[in-house]
Amino acid sequence: MPVASRAPGTLLSQACQSLIVSAGLAVAAVGPANAQTNRPEAPQVNTANDPYLWLEDVGGEKALSWVRERNAVTEAELAAKPEFKRLEADIRAILDSDAKIPAVEKIGDHYYNFWRDKTHERGLWRRTTLEEYRKAKPTWETVIDLDALNKAENENWVWHGANCLKPVDPKAPVERCLVALSRGGADADVTREFDLATKTWVKDGFYRAEAKGALGWIDRDTVYVYTDFGKDAKGNTTLTSSGYPRVVKQWTRGTPMADATAVYEGTGEDMYIAAYRDDTRGFERDFVSRTIAFYNDELYLRTPAGLTKVDAPNSANKVVHKQWLMLELREPYAAGGTTYPAGSLLATKFDDFMAGKRVFTALFTPTERASLSSFTWTKNKLVLNVLEDVKNRLSVLTPGDGAWASEPFTGAPAFGTLTVSAVDADDSDAVWLSAADYLTPSTLALATLGQAPEVLKSNPAFFDASRHAIEQHFATSADGTRVPYFMVRPKDLAFDGTAPTLLYGYGGFEVSELPRYSGAVGKGWLEKGGVYAVANIRGGGEYGPRWHQAALKANRYKAYEDFAAVARDLVARKVTSPQHLGAQGGSNGGLLTGNMLTQYPELFGAIVVQVPLLDMQRYHKLLAGASWMAEYGNPDTADWEFIRTFSPYHLFDPKRDYPATIFMTSTRDDRVHPGHARKMMARMLEADKDVRYYENIEGGHGGSANNAQAAHMSALAFTFLWNELGGKGGGGAAASAK
């Protein structure tokens, strides 16, 4: 999915779910409580006089010297003991394991996989056949060796994916790809043309210099390009205020990019402008996408006559597949004499819709307990993935006039996180079905809809799960809302309030937190006897758009009340107690945990947070921050009156006691500015709080650029947590700052 079309932490959520470790921040409440909300009032802070603004200089030598000094202190505390080295080695072995499932994408007749292990730290892009892939140990053909490329070019490339051109003749081989490579894992990347037949870079081929954006195929000699074009003829930047492309052009091979023809120009206040060709055979179409803000976008059909808007609600997710237009609603929609509720999935004929007709078939209608998680097209079928109280349920629809026929997905597991993707939506009704939960390693099955899935691959068990059990509970939030959470606990848990417990959350951008298997969490936490909990708080997507919208802007505090309610429920059940309870989250989840510390410091003994948002008065001025104002509000307006009530950097009070804290971030994160974590660390350090800091020089928003870095950061986080919540018998809020 495009980076700009999702949350600042979505990639973090994907990249780091295998670790669920990250880094942390601790802050505490300040000032009198608001009488209506019982939330703290932020003091008036003059940002212009912020003594730590110099730490926003990402690559400045003064700031990096400070980073290195803080890193050294943290390493000396956490990484010096043999038990740290053992844990780091264990997690590195998990990440490097050759037994992991190699996820594949069908391109032409081959199945492609990007693979990293101990020998290939930056990774291999490789391919095989389906016949080979079915084997326990397939034979792979290397297409691109990223480590060898880095050595040859003296670079630090991180893989960002490949976009391959579908040939006009369905029997012809796929020959050309546009490969995206990032320096150090940043969102900004370069695009280079690659020849699959010769496995070489195309001399004088399409090339896009480092920037946020992309190239997309139109045909072999033509691409869409949306990137940083420098200044336009009027001297204006070609980027939005969020740092993403404002202009999309059509570029012909052999001509300078500067001569490319403008297709669409957005405004500086837009978020992201892009274009793409739908290359479905028999239904080839071109579209321009104008993303104004998160969940606010316009889609245009491009024809020789110009651009025609697909006149569906901006808030709806609009998907065109063959003859169908699908609308996934985030707000109620009145059309054809019917009002469809938010969370519905509608279908209609695309050509009829463009002609003005508004006759829809409702394929899914939400309930209080059920929401649509995703949908996937195959050649002839549509698979719906529904969440019922945060548990996946699959069904298969067959298109028709009026109501579509529906049947259960044959052979789907009864429990666990299920994901479905088409193998080749042009040619078959085959899908990949993956399944996992907190204690069950992932499996990958190949299924032809209507037939029992064939399990092709299974991950090994990376930790002993026999002594643990998974439970789902519901906490009651401050306004009476029922908030689900999952808990993984030892079967013989004493329920005496002493279990070291880690509570994870995100709560934003309609991102759902579902049960996932993590060898690192198992090895670093569960095997030691710890309890692991995941809170499905408002702001996420577990109950569809309403769950997300319930915690937007001025209602942000509801997400924090939900998380606090889960923390209290864990204590009330005598699973743990505040001195043994830790909180963890990254990106938007870092804002969550920052507010746990500013508003609920008494609930936790330690905090770990990665790549956090913390200075909410300046977040929109830093990197991609302006793109998130639909979620948080604009602090340059009257919105600051509510934003300041959840800005941890402004809520910090040097007179308060705080739980033990660790911040972890990345210098190369060009989505959430590392200055957030740096400045908060500096403020807490000056106040002599129990705080430590680690900044990885590479890694981007995911925090690490290779398995070695990921294992190191994971081990730092788990070591810190166990020291504070288990190994040293607690600490934090129940004990004064050390």
The one-letter amino acid at 186: A
Active site residue ranges: 587, 701
Alpha carbon of 132 to those of 98, 128, 314, 681: distances in Å?
16, 6, 45, 51
Under 8 Å between Cβ of 521 and 19: yes
Q: How far apart are CA 441 and CA 269, in angstroms?
A: 44
Question: 259 burial class (0-12, 13-18, 19+ CB within 10 angstroms)?
Answer: exposed
Q: How far apart are CA 469 and CA 377, in angstroms?
A: 35
- The DSSP 8-state label assigned to residue 584 in this structure reads E
Q: How far apart are CA 650 and CA 720, in angstroms?
A: 26
Q: How far apart are CA 720 and CA 25, in angstroms?
A: 12
Phi, psi angle pair for 584, to nearest 5° = -145, 140
Single out the residue of 485, 488, 481 nearest to residue 473, CA to CA: 485
Rounded to the nearest angstrom, the gap between the alpha carbon of residue 331 and the centroid of all alpha carbons in its chain is 23
Report the length, in residues, of the chain: 738
Q: How far apart are CA 421 and CA 429, in angstroms?
A: 10
Q: How far apart are CA 120 and CA 17, in angstroms?
A: 21
Return the number of other C-beta atoms located less than 10 Å from residue 294's C-beta. 21
Q: How far apart are CA 530 and CA 218, in angstroms?
A: 52
Q: How far apart are CA 473 and CA 188, in angstroms?
A: 41
Under 8 Å between Cβ of 718 and 88: no
Under 8 Å between Cβ of 706 and 675: no
End-to-end Cα distance, the chain: 44
User: Which residues lie closer than 8 Å to 555 by C-beta, 6 or more apart?
Assistant: none
Q: Given the structure tokens 């998680």, which residue do they identify?
A: 373
Q: How far apart are CA 369 and CA 562, in angstroms?
A: 17
Q: Which neighbouring-strand residues pair with 182?
A: 158
| Percent of the chain as helix, strand, coil, to the nearest 5 | 25, 30, 45
User: Which residues lie closer than 8 Å to 203 by C-beta, 6 or more apart?
Assistant: none
3-class DSSP state of 397: strand
Single out the residue of 305, 280, 288, 293 nearest to residue 330, CA to CA: 293
Taking the CA atoms of residue 619, residue 621, residue 622 and residue 627 in that order, the dihedral angle to the nearest 10 degrees is: 70
Cα Rg of the chain, angstroms: 25
Taking the CA atoms of residue 127, residue 131, residue 137 and residue 142 in that order, the dihedral angle to the nearest 10 degrees is: -20
Sequence-ordered alpha helix ranges (H) in 439-544: 519-521
Under 8 Å between Cβ of 633 and 299: no
Question: 546 burial class (0-12, 13-18, 19+ CB within 10 angstroms)?
Answer: middle
Q: Which neighbouring-strand residues pair with 609?
A: 585, 663
User: What would the DSSP string read from start to end of 95-155?
Assistant: HH-TTS----EEETTEEEEEE--SS-SS-EEEEE-HHHHTSSS---EEEEEHHHHHHHHT-
